[in-house]
Structure 1
Amino acid sequence: MLIFSAFVTIGNTFDLSQKPRIIMNIFKSYYLCAGLALALASCGTQKMVSTSVENIDKMPVKTTKIAEKDLKRWSHLDLGKDTIPGMSVDKAYAELLKGKKGTKVVVGVVDSGVDIDHEDLKPAIWTNPKEIAGNGKDDDKNGYIDDIHGWNFLGDAEYENMEYVRILKKGDDGSATYRKAKAEYDKEMQEANQGKMQVDFIMAGDKAISDHLKKKNYTLDDVKKIETTDQTLLQYKGMMMQVLTQVGSKEEFDKEIVGYKDHVYGQVNYHLNLQFDGRKVVGDNPDDLNDKKYGNNNVIGPVKKGAKHGTHVAGIIAQTQNNNKGGDGVASNNVQIMAVRAVPDGDEYDKDIALGIRYAVDNGAKVINGSFGKYFSTHKDWVHDAIKYAASKDVLVIFAAGNESYDLDTMNKYPTDSYDGQPEISNNVLIIGATSPNYGAGMVAGFSNYGKTSVDIFAPGDKIYATTPSNTYEYQQGTSMASPNVAGVAALIRSYYPKLSAAQVKQIIMESGTPLTTKVTVGETQETKAFNEVSKSGKIVNAYNALLMAEKMAKK
């Protein structure tokens, strides 16, 4: 369930956005990082570089603060022109695509669900042309009744166990996998119980301060003025003074603590709960790939807020450009988003991912985005076969690298296209790491996985502003956000140069990126490496360069 976003752990989406980092550190230390709700800063002021791209690795870099209007769309900006290490999307539109007309490209978003009613996504939602809405029939004979905008392989399920918990529930078979799963469970359960203690302590402190002041929406000045000899209240006072100083307001604290509570209680009640069965409501056998008659056509899911991650991912690709709402999609005028709900709040099932990929392929997707992942997989061969099937149908598949700060050359993350140093299983997969808006040592986002052979290329994934359910917008961060940025670039290439194959599009994205050799810090130990040593390409994605190369390749 690594929804590769950066705080919340929605099932297997590498979603850091589901773990409010400030609140997580409050109990351990009063020295807090800056507020995450707006994600405008992360332990310091965001910087942009002010030197030309030709000299970027050859001279000291001057820095200035990034304005919020630029931060909201920094992934579209240009390192050489705007002095921000984005993907040069604006430059591509202004200099290469102006006046050109591309074909519509269907992008399958395999995720937690998509709010297809969002004002900024509606124009870009895929509609199945062969299906008649609401007649209760499988008009196109594809096995899915009334699949108007995609398919929901989770039905009414919302929460799930982690994969290693499901392994434990099957019993000790004496295998190394079982022992590894047990060790992971013990570690995570200990951390979850500690987290529950922390969040309960923080919430108790908030309630004590509120009760003392006789108001819920108190200010930092209100807390400072508290005079008491009650040692417990004094402890709460000190904690909340530090929290409000760093977070900025009680309103932001309330958002943070709700997110942290949901994360921690989700772990204890669902993700790590050996007695919880989240699949029962679905009604299928998740260990039988041939049991395919399950799910429904509600691609948002049973609870709209549960589609937050998928809606944000879809927005990065397709939210409407230049409408003064939210951010701008990388390829909004050129794409249709096919929603495939297959990632719960907890680890995804390999069966749902495999069938979700096949569904997207069979129904016309030419690019598939998968911002999810896990480190245990019981049926990885099913997903491998689905990836190979996508390759046979000329479909590009893009996966997030993950948010655990791991070197993927030393451990396996699922799904991917190569395990244990073996050759890639196909030539249609890209694995994406996440960068931040800061050129220099902090350019690789602190949470991002990396790997000289296991991660293909990096793209913007830190502080990305996009759609969230019910016509709202938020900053989120994670490789979950980097992956759809690349999916958007891939969709542009396939829109304007439709004769290029998925393998050629992968090659273009890899070879046309901006090469950088600057030293960066990676991993939990903040090891220093040259940027060209943390991915196969040693580059960051560049839409402008990619389209130039695509045109040359198309002419050949």
Structure 2
Amino acid sequence: MPRSFFAAKSARTRLAIAFSFVIILCLLFVAPLPSTSSATQGEIQLNEKGKQSRPEAVPGEVLVRYRSELQARRQTRATTLSAEGRQLSIQVERFEGADIVPGLRKAYVNPEDTHAAIAALKQQPDVLYAEPNYLLYPAVTPNDPLFLSNELFGLSIIGAPQAWNTTTGSNSIVVGVIDEGMDINHPDLQANVWTNPGEIPGNGIDDDGNGFIDDVHGYNFAVNTGTIPAESHATHVAGTIGAVGNNNTGVVGVNWQVGLMSLKFIDGNNGANSDAIRACAYAKLMRDRWVSSGGTQGANVRVLNNSYGGGQFEQSFSDTINALNQSGILFVAAAGNDGTALEHDNELVPFYPSSYGSPNVVGVAATDSSDNLASFSHFGLQTVQLGAPGVGILSTEPNNTYGVLSGTSMASPHVAGAAALLLAANPNLTVQQLKGLLTFNGDLVSSLSGKTLTGRRLNIGKSFQALAENDTTPPGTVTNFHLNTQNGRSLNVGWTASGDDGTSGQASLYSVSFTDSTTGAIIPLKSIVAAAPGVTQAIDVKLPYRHTAGTLTLREFDNVGNEGVPATFSVSVPLVEGDPYLTSTGNPVALSTGGTPLGLIADDGLKSNFALPFTFPFFGENFSTVTISTNGNLFFSPPPTRPNGDADDVPSSSVGLATFKMISGLWDDLRTDRRSGDDVYVVTPDSNRIIFRWQTVTFGDGTAATELPVSFEIELRQDGTILTRYGAGQQSPFADIISRVVGIGGGEPDAYVIDTHTSEGALIDLTNAREVTFLPRAIGINSTVQFSVPQFNVVESAGVATVNVTRIGDTSTQASIDYATQDGSATQKGDYIFTSGTLNFAAGETTKSFPVLVVDDNFQEGTETFSVSLSNPVNTVVGARSIASVAIFDDDLAPPTSNPLDNADARFFVRQHYLDFLNREPDSPGLSFWSDQITSCGTNQECLEVRRINVSAAFFLSIEFQETGYLVYRMYKAAYGNIPNEPVPVRYTEFLPDSQQIALGVVVGVGDWQTTLENNKQAFALNFVSRSRFATAYPTTLIPDQFVDALYANAGVVPSAAERTSIIGEFGTALNTSSIPARARALRRVAENQALNQQELNNAFVLMEYFGYLRRNPSDPPDTDFGGYNFWLGKLNQFNGNFITAEMVKSFIVSGEYRQRFGS
């Protein structure tokens, strides 16, 4: 058996967060030195009114990623139908650098069909995503009055002189400058400019065979040449990273010696996203060649500096950065700077690429010489790691000159240079070690507290001190992590600090996050500097809307990035406070007529403090006035405005909904000043309702292409209900309407976004769209469900804990609520069996209960507890006791001398299989039958071994498991295929609750079990296809043929023509796949395909050994990857499924990891 199956290894949880906005280059102003600088100021990307420009893209180009490289290779030229039925001709080509993301291609279409092609490609079953090829633009800040000529304060303040006592850098460490072109002939840079040893300059030949001609010092991806022009911004950045030191010339960089690789993709005013990807791909290519050749080819690229950015999320760019991480390349990025009135908080309005959640990204804010956060600098409590000097930075400029620039573009190269300096001292540092040394050792400065993850400004001198410690000991786990007080979503949590190395020394950072128990989403909440060991700490955190139950986790980090074992506890919020609205869509409804015009005739106009006819409740507050925007919004908080007073709420975004208390009926760049009668009209049908109707508004800038009008309205009701309706209007396919948002927000994450009515990257038509309703949960709910007591007790040997739930108040209607267990000191791996489900109260029913199975192990461990929580109430609300604890009282009187798995009567061994594989107590005949299979061997050890293996395997092969747990596995396989980069389709935490749902009440051979099983299958299939993940993967606009073919493609089987036709027939004559029952039937029939059943049997057999015996994913600790899983699958396949010859089952049931669940 491979050692990794049992080896104690560590694993880290990584978080990738993605938002949606525009990308803009942070090219900052130049304050020229009077006698030396000839640089000029760039252009601000605002229109004549100061309005932020919409994200622009290359017309006629689409970045599309197919589900596999094989599928991508099959694509060359295709014809597809647009949403309105037009034929679109699409030419698909591989582009240089696309290999960094498998399946990535560039599609060419007629420029006027760009958005329609994106929408059509997204509907193709073989497409993962399609997105515009966005342009990246220069964005300049105003001149800063601090002019610090000839003063390199930045190097002193970050402790560079102290670091230089250890090393001044190395030319073998290469930093890629993704930017404009840098001046490779500058006398203060020339000696440090990287030179490709395998390339002969100017001969027009690809001498080193890497696919690039004359890439002597890097490459110009903007125009596809090895010629690098000398440009200001990149030259300045390069000088901060590595201007030559000790040469009696000009300035010095963080590194005296380094390799500077010029990766130009900005040309003039902009650069295409695909060219930025190509620049990254080149860096990865050269790094991989350097590694594979032992340093004789390529370049040792370990750091990329990215002093550009903006707000538009690009999945292709995110995938690219993750690929860089796999090659050991750190991605340092400017946090962003903004000279307008727009929000600087990257948590609210993300600024990419620094806001990408990839583990190799370091986002950098800018500070001045007094350690103040620069006035222009963006910040972000989770996505900006630290600050660095970025105001009045003197560095190299083209043509042997020097100049002063300010911005996060100048802060980022300080960090990139520091990373290269650390690598010069220790080239073997991993990306995570490098990131930890940079981020956890800076100086604590008050201006960055609460603004960045660490609250620190770079100090490379202290990073070198930490490097010298050679610290591999993780910090200790904090003790007594607990809830002090709670008021709805607002929590105060406390703990006792641990140490740096276990219990000694002082850790660097504590990070608190929330894990949603339903979705598994990990949401960072707040970070705090660690106190000295033994000191009590407390912080206030607020759970985001729409996340009502889950786990709070506190992670500990030391000054080199070592992470301790997290501390956790469960928490929940009453649904009416945490998720206060129910959303639904209904048939289109005609708009109101008549009404009073507001006289709001404007482009980006506001009508402030409009008096409502009643007090309107919105996200727990009452409002008597509202502000109306021409851009389709109602604001209950101060709206964003530009300095001239105009509305500053364009372009629209889903993230923006979480920034303001607002209602978006149709948020876009709208105007009411293009024709007579255009306006916002107010209608009051009765004393309980008011309607705001945007009448024949137009889009964009008033050009002919955007003149065709649309009408829509927002209705407010006195009880807090909100409705939006959409009228008829001819939507031009050329109109600039790609950033349309419909939803409501409470001024904090997460907002309610109506996905069917929202699009931020493709054309969407809301003509006569369905009516949207936002219904406050508090309306008409007069009953409460909660646990009967705060703690339930059970003696371990009893084997089962009964948990009671009560309903009080109005019980005249049906109601339901979900429940689930969470680990505490007792864990689901060895103390109890994870349990989840739904309690359905009939009318008049006031009490329900559910069992939690308890494991009677042999350990003497005292009293242990786990928790149970209630969530997702229907026709009721969760009461104060939404979480209860369950205490298991240990009745083992002495330390273990044996393992109960070895008991002679075999009943513990057999019962545990029922618990682990069938999620139920054994029926008496079954327990006796399977126990007798083993005990009948007497003392014959060979017989006992074979019988124990056969009994174990029988639970997976049983009808009961094959028709429940194995069906769940196949449903995931047919719906989604395998998890990206993993050989399995489902995770442990997904499988457990689903397998319990489908198996509820099923005991083969007892009662009418077949009817119970069939009812469960139907209910589970309906639930499965109703989930948001399935709806996203299979939009209802798919025609039945596409829907069924996509299922079979994910399943990896080819159906017969008759079977395919029959399953398509589940949708009848429908031209779409909106029928939920038909979707459920089709998915189930594909999942029950016999070829799929046979194909996946061995794969599922191995996976269930991990899920059942080890209660974890194959790649969870102590494993770190799927090596063990692949080994056993290979063995099982080698012996054609003979698990005895393969010794698979035997290895699991005799493994130390399994046996240690129950005893020594």
What is the TM-score when the length of structure 2 is the normalising length?
0.28
1:355 matched residue in structure 2: 278
1:337 aligns to what? 260
Structure 2 partner of 1:367 = 303
Q: CA deviation at 1:332?
A: 2.5
| Aligned counterparts of 2:382 and 2:251: Cα–Cα separation in 1 | 33
Instruction: Find the partner of 1:142 among 210, 221, 234.
Output: 210
Paired AA for residue 393 in structure 2: I
- Structure 1 position 553, deviation (Å): 3.1
CA distance in 2, matches of 1:536, 1:369: 20
Alignment check: 8 A CA contact 1:513 1:546 kept:
yes
2:162 corresponds to: 91
Cα displacement (A) at 1:549: 1.3
Deviation at 1:376, TM superposition (A): 3.1
The aligned runs of 1:452-471 (5 Å cut-off) are 452-471=381-400
1:152 to 220, 241, 263: 220
| Alignment match, 1:174 | none
- Aligned partners of 2:141 and 2:376 also within 8 Å: no
Greater length-normalized contact order (CA 8 Å, ≥ 6 residues apart): 1
Alignment of 1:140-539 (within 5 A): 140-155=208-223, 295-300=224-229, 304=230, 307-333=231-257, 335-363=258-286, 364=299, 365-376=301-312, 380-404=314-338, 406-418=344-356, 424=357, 426-439=358-371, 443-516=372-445, 518=446, 520=447, 531-539=448-456
Q: 1:492 to 1:104 in 2, by over 3 A?
A: same
Separation in 1, partners of 2:235, 2:278: 21
Q: Does the 8 Å contact 1:456/1:535 carry over to 2?
A: yes
After TM superposition, give the deviation of residue 453 of structure 1 in Å: 1.2
| C-alpha separation in 2, matches of 1:325 and 1:473 | 11
Q: 1:322: how far off?
A: 3.3
Q: Which whole-Å CA distance do the structure 2 matches of 1:370 and 1:445 have between them?
A: 19
Q: CA deviation at 1:358?
A: 1.3
Matches of 2:195 and 2:467, distance apart in 1: 28
- Where 1:326 maps in the other structure, the secondary structure is coil
> Which one-letter code corresponds to 1:401 in the other structure?
A
C-alpha deviation, 1:451, in angstroms: 1.2
Distance 1:325 1:102, change over 3 A: closer
Which residue in the other structure is 1:200 paired with? Answer: none
Q: How far does residue 2 in structure 1 lie from its aligned partner after superposition? A: 2.4
Equivalent pair of 1:3/1:9 in contact (CA under 8 Å)? no
Q: Aligned to 1:536, what secondary structure does the other structure show?
A: coil
Q: Is 2:346–2:378's contact at 8 Å kept on the other side of the alignment?
A: yes
Q: How far, CA to CA, are the matches of 1:110 and 1:143 in structure 2?
A: 19
Report SS of the residue matched to 1:493. helix
The secondary structure found in structure 2 opposite 1:110 is strand
AA of the residue aligned to 1:458: G
Q: In 2, Cα distance between the equivalents of 1:354 and 1:338?
A: 16
SS of residue paired to 2:276: helix
1:14/1:409 CA distance change after superposition, 3 Å: farther
- Once the two structures are superposed, the pairs formed by residues 97-112 of structure 1 within 5 Å of their partners are 97=167, 104-112=172-180
TM-aligned CA distance change 1:397 to 1:310, over 3 Å = same
Q: Which residue of 2 aligns with 1:552?
A: 469
Secondary structure at the aligned position of 1:388 is classed as: helix
- Partners of 2:137 and 2:272 lie apart in 1 by 15
Distance, in Å, in 1 between the alignment partners of 2:245 and 2:170 is 16
The amino acid across from 1:391 in the alignment is N
Q: Distance in 2 between matches of 1:147 and 1:102?
A: 21
Shift of 1:75: 0.8
Question: Distance in 2 between the 1:308 and 1:355 partners?
Answer: 22
Supply the distance in 2 between the matched residues of 1:414 and 1:555 (Cα, whole angstroms): 33
Alignment match, 1:123: 191
Q: Aligned partners of 1:152 and 1:484: how far apart in 2? A: 20
Q: How has the CA–CA distance of structure 1 residues 454 and 505 changed in structure 2, closer, same or farther, with 3 Å as cutoff?
A: same
Please say if residues 508 and 550 of structure 1, whose CA atoms lie closer than 8 Å, have aligned partners that are also in contact.
yes
> Which residue type is aligned with residue 551 of structure 1?
A
Helix, strand or coil for the counterpart of 2:309?
Answer: coil
Distance in 2 separating the partners of 1:299 and 1:506: 30
Residue pair 2:366, 2:373 contacting (<8 A) in 1 also: yes
For the Cα contact (< 8 Å) 2:220–2:264, is it kept in 1?
yes
* C-alpha distance in structure 2 between counterparts of 1:542 and 1:105, whole Å: 20
Compute the displacement of 1:325 (Å). 2.9
- Listed one character per residue, the Cα deviations across residues 155-210 of structure 1 (whole Å, up to 9, x for unaligned) are 1xxxxxxxxxxxxxxxxxxxxxxxxxxxxxxxxxxxxxxxxxxxxxxxxxxxxxxx
**Structure having the higher Rg:** 2
- Say which SS state the counterpart of residue 104 (structure 1) adopts: strand
In structure 1, the partner of 2:1069 is none
How big is the shift at 1:540? 0.3
Gaps of 5+ in 1: 22-32, 41-67, 78-85, 156-294, 419-423, 521-530
CA distance in 2, matches of 1:463, 1:373: 20
TM-score by length of 1: 0.57
Secondary structure (helix, strand or coil) at the match of 1:91 reads helix
The residue aligned with 1:75 is: 154
AA of the residue aligned to 2:167? L
- Structure 1 residues 388 and 432 mapped into 2: Cα distance closer, same or farther (>3 Å)? same
Alpha-carbon offset, residue 361 of structure 1: 2.0
Whole-angstrom distance in 2 between the partners of 1:501 and 1:337? 20
**How far apart in 2 are the matches of 1:112 and 1:512?**
31
Q: Judging changes above 3 Å, is the alpha-carbon distance between structure 1 residues 102 and 108 closer, same or farther for their aligned structure 2 residues?
A: closer
**1:19 to 1:537, Cα distance in 2 relative to 1, 3 A:** closer
For residue 3 of structure 1, report the CA deviation from its aligned partner: 2.5
Measured at CA, do residues 554 and 492 of structure 1 come closer, stay the same or move farther in structure 2, by a change above 3 Å?
A: farther
Structure 1 position 4, deviation (Å): 4.2
Shift of 1:20: 4.8
Q: Relative to structure 1, is the Cα distance of residues 148 and 554 closer, same or farther in structure 2, using a 3 angstrom cutoff?
A: farther
Bigger share in strand: 2
Find the residue that maps to 2:396 and give its secondary structure.
strand
1: CA distance, partners of 2:178 / 2:417: 15
Give the aligned residue type for 1:338: M
Return the offset for 1:429.
Answer: 1.0
Amino acid at match of 1:374: G
Mapped partners of 2:471, 2:137: distance in 1:
35
Q: In 1, Cα distance between the equivalents of 2:433 and 2:418? A: 13
SS in structure 2 opposite 1:453?
Answer: coil
The percent of aligned pairs where both chains have the same amino acid is: 32
Tell me the distance in 2 between the aligned counterparts of 1:102 and 1:129. 16
Aligned-pair Cα RMSD in Å: 2.3
Q: Which amino acid aligns with 1:397?
A: F
Q: CA deviation at 1:111?
A: 0.5
Deviation at residue 345 of structure 1 after TM alignment: 3.3
SS of residue paired to 1:451: coil
* Cα distance in 1 between the residues matched to 2:29 and 2:355: 23
Counterpart Cα distance in 2 of 1:328 and 1:298: 26
Tell me the CA shift for residue 502 of structure 1.
1.2
Could you tell me which residue of structure 2 aligns to residue 45 of structure 1?
A: none
Q: Structure 1: how far apart are the matches of 2:180 and 2:170?
A: 29
Paired residues of 1:4 and 1:13 also in contact (CA < 8 A): no
Equivalent position SS for 1:346: coil
**Greater share of helix:** 1
> Could you tell me which amino acid in structure 2 is paired with residue 433 of structure 1?
A
The CA deviation at 1:128 is 0.8
CA offset digits 1:86-105 (Å, max 9, x no partner): 101012224x338xx85620
Cα distance between partner residues in 2 of 1:9 and 1:430 = 26
- Residue 509 of structure 1 aligns with an amino acid whose one-letter code is L
Contact 2:335 2:378 in 1 (8 A): yes
Task: Check whether the contact 2:355–2:384 (CA below 8 A) recurs between aligned residues.
Answer: no
